[in-house]
A and B are shown apart, each in its own frame.
Chain A
Amino acid sequence: DTAVSQTPKYLVTQMGNDKSIKCEQNLGHDTMYWYKQDSKKFLKIMFSYNNKELIINETVPNRFSPKSPDKAHLNLHINSLELGDSAVYFCASSLAGSGRSYNEQFFGPGTRLTVL
Chain B
Amino acid sequence: KNQVEQSPQSLIILEGKNCTLQCNYTVSPFSNLRWYKQDTGRGPVSLTIMTFSENTKSNGRYTATLDADTKQSSLHITASQLSDSASYICVVSGDTNAGKSTFGDGTTLTVKP
A residues sitting closer than 8 Å to B (CB atoms) are 4, 31, 33, 40-45, 48, 55-56, 90, 92, 94, 96-98, 100-110
B32-A101 in contact (CB<8A): yes
Q: Which candidate, B13-21, B72-80, B91-99, is the interface stretch facing chain A?
A: B91-99
B residues sitting closer than 8 Å to A (CB atoms) are 31-32, 34, 38, 41-46, 49, 51, 87, 89, 93, 96-101, 103, 105-106, 108
Distance of A40 Cα from B34 Cα, bound (Å): 21
Distance of A108 Cα from B93 Cα, bound (Å): 20
Distance of A106 Cα from B87 Cα, bound (Å): 16
Q: A107 is contacted by which of B32, B43, B49, B96 (Cβ under 8 Å)?
A: B43
A41-B99 in contact (CB<8A): no
A107-B44 in contact (CB<8A): yes
B96-A98 in contact (CB<8A): yes
CB distance from B31 to the nearest CB of A (A): 7
B96-A109 in contact (CB<8A): no
A104-B42 in contact (CB<8A): no
Using CB atoms, name the residue of chain A closest to B103: A43
A33-B99 in contact (CB<8A): yes
Using CB atoms, name the residue of chain B closest to A93: B98
Using CB atoms, name the residue of chain A closest to B46: A104
Distance of A4 Cα from B31 Cα, bound (Å): 24
B98-A41 in contact (CB<8A): no
A104-B98 in contact (CB<8A): yes
CB distance from A36 to the nearest CB of B (A): 11
Distance of A108 Cα from B32 Cα, bound (Å): 22
Using CB atoms, name the residue of chain B closest to A6: B43
Distance of A69 Cα from B84 Cα, bound (Å): 38
CB distance from A51 to the nearest CB of B (A): 13
List 6 A-B pairs, minimum CB-CB distance, nearest first.
A107-B43, A48-B99, A102-B32, A94-B98, A103-B98, A105-B98
